[in-house]
Each structure stands twice: as structure tokens, then as C-alpha cells.
Structure 1
């Protein structure tokens, strides 16, 4: 039954990933956990998926020159180190049979923090008026944390790095998204090949998700120009909040409502993307 939905699910999460620069794994991992896959399997599939969304979405941002290459280099190298530090922890948790509760709790803490930080009324820096001055030490620490979380939770690391790039390094949201997506590819590449040596994944499911990811991430990355920096930041905060609610419901053995909440928000985002696309097309038509 899941395979019938794998392609549209991959496409939808891919669009969200390309739009927010979060790799997609932080949405896919809890969905796979809610569907009954083991944490190691869910993490490995999500890392493969995040590789696909990140490279597809990053190409769009590279074309529009919304990448800070120096920051990308620091994030990528430190992030790859972080993934290797996390792998022994995940395998230990799985052997101890406490991986599910520990990973879910870590998700909840991170999602709560980032949801609050993104929805708080802090000043949003405009891309055109931004003065970029980046601390290499802060960037390396963000990369290490992103890589560690990436390999621990099976996410791209972007759902950690994007808020930190915005609030710590003070990057405009669009530059943070593009830089994060480019870094994620190298980070999750390391994590995936580390896991795939010891974990077997359902190939048909993985392939369908990846096909959807490649298409969806390009669509999502192309939609960022249709929204203001503040709207982009707020929509990401809401996404974190609903993901948090879905995981809390899972802990109370309410997996179906948790899945429905995530699906409904993703559907709402898709409707918003379609509305903005057609509005833009109509505006261009009347200007001709």
C-alpha cells in the first residue's frame, strides 16, 4: 500500500525540502518510523533521500547565485566529521533496544527549540541589504552539530543548520537555504555510505522516493522567490511545530493522527505553491 504513495510522497517532501533547504529527511524519518520501519532502516533511506533532494535543490540555488561557498566548505567538512562521530551512538542505541525512545525524544527537543526560534519575532535580514561577515569557528560548530544530528536522526542536517545559519551567522533566509542544501549533499553522502554497509533497505521504496525527491526539490527551490524572507521563516517554524506534534502523538501510540497532521500540512504547502505559481503566471501574462 505504501509503494502506491511513495512517488507522490517523495515529490511532496522533495518540494518542501527544496523550498526550506532542509534535505527532507527530518520529515521522511518520522513518517517511516510512524509506518513501522526500524530506526536504522528509516535513517538509511532518509539519508539516501536527502542526498537526492539536496543535490537537486542546490543546482537551482547555484544557478541563481544564492550560495556562500566559503560557508559551504566549512559546513561540509565539519559536517562529514560529525556524521562519523554519530554512527557508533546510533548502533549502540539500536543494540540496547532504546533507539526509538531516545531518537524520538531528541527530535522533540530540537523541533521545539527551532519551532520557537523561527516563529519568534526576531529581525529578519533582507538579502539585498545584508552585510555578510561569517565566523569560521561558529560555522564549523554548526557543521559538526548538523552532521552529528544528520547521522543520528537520518536527516540532512539542514533542519538544524538553516535556523542556526539565520540566527547565529545572521544569514538572510534564502542564502541560508541555498548554502545549507549544498552542504547537505556532502554530509549525507558520508553518512549514507557509513550506514549502508550494515543496514539493508527496501530498494523499490527507496527508488520511488528518490525519483520523487529529484523532481520535487527543483520545484520547491524555484518557489522561494514567490515569498518574502519573513514568510519563508514563519512557514518553516510552522513545519517544525507540526512535525513535533506528530512525534508526540506517536509516543502516545497515536501514529495515524500523527501521519495525518504531517500529510495535511504538506498538502497545504503544495496548494500554496500551486496558488503562488498560477498567480505569478497570470501577473506575467497581463504584463505582456
Structure 2
């Protein structure tokens, strides 16, 4: 008689329990979003067999990530986005991934090697640190100099959540050709985050970058342009038809949550909440 699927060992058991402890895997739709975000982190679509219960589904997800190069790092990035960076689930997953990568490093690398860490396992750059050289990153932050503080805050929060970011103040170092770098940012990063203010719409280069991103996806199917409104005004022109993430008058933690929820919706194509809505009657 075939035994039911179960975690292979104690580490996997801890990982499965940590994920099941969060509401993000209770229903099939959030689990499907988790798998989609893992695929985004790996740079390819992920297809897993549907299992009859949440437990078996989560076991399948964890086994896949364990067996795939960069899989656990992609899982960690997805959990940070869905559960929040400071949640108990995220903290537990971070610890378990660090333990796994440390064990792999001790087994497979020389004592002086720097590989095998959580940061080194991502092919597109370290989690929470500066991204690796190269144009293919998750987000290009487009802004005008008057809104540099907002741009840096947004870039920092996105990288803290595990995304890779291209932003002028950090990446256009001495010797860079900034116009060429801007062009590569808009055309080769997966999405452009436009820091939306009146100053941005009054900037020639700001509007140009937004229009280039919009031109690459005029119907918004791939959501290549993700405006983030940080000033109380009504966008006009071509940007008036693009749904934006609104951070106006929010406290820092609320703004961080709305930013990450918003980019999660842009990447996943839907923003269904993880918890059921309150009964309105």
C-alpha cells in the first residue's frame, strides 16, 4: 500500500509547518499566487501537481524548492512579499533557509568559500542587498530629482522584500552613461515604478520614461508601468488611465504594506486578499 506524501525529514517538516502557520496558504488561490511568485523569482513558470489538501500542496511546493537551484531563495522572497517581512512566518522561513544554505555550503564548498548563502543563491542579485551587475532586474524606479527621497525609500523597501531594483542614485555611479542606463532600465527591467508627483509629470525625462514603459505594454496586460502616487494630485494625460498605488497620507508601515501589496498585484495580476472579507450584513 502506498504511503501518503509527507515531509522527508525534520527540516522539511519545520518548513511545511511554518508555511501552514500563515493564512497565505490556507486557500488554493493564495497557494497558486505563492507558486507564481516563486516562478517569478526563478525567472520561469512553475507547474506543480495540484494536491487534494493544503498540507500536501505545501509539501509539494517545499520539495520543489529544495530540489531547484535558487528555489528556496525564491520561496523566501515570495513569503516576504505575501506574509510581510516582520511576520513570524517570514522570520521562521528566513532562519530555515539560512540553515539549509549554510549546511549546503559546509558540504559542497571549501571552508573559505562565500557561496551557499541565502544571498548568493539568487541568480539576479542578493536578497536585501545591492543587485548583481546587469540590466535584468525586477523594477526600474523612475523619478525626478525633486522626489529623490521617495524614490530611495521605495527602492529600499522593494530590495528589503527580496526584489532587484535599478535606481539612479545608487546605480548610476561615476563613469556611467546615465542616458544609456535609463534606456536599459525602462526597456530591460521587468517593470518601471514611476514616482508620481506634479514634478514628475513636469519633467521631460520623467514623462518620457513613463511613456516608453507604457508603449511597451499599451493595454496594461503585463503591467510594465506601475505608478506610485506620493503627492495629492490627479494625474493627467496618458497616465490618467493607469491604476496607481496610492501612498498619500499613509503612516510608514501602512505605506510599506500598500507598496508591497500593490507590486504583488502588478506581478500576479490580481489583488485578492488572503483573509475573507467581513460579512457586510
Q: Whose strand fraction is larger, Structure 1's or Structure 2's?
A: 2
Q: Greater Rg, structure 1 or structure 2?
A: 2
With CA pairs under 8 Å and 6+ residues apart, which has the higher RCO, 1 or 2? 1
TM interval, shorter chain, is: under 0.3
Task: Report the TM-score, using the length of structure 2 for normalisation.
Answer: 0.26
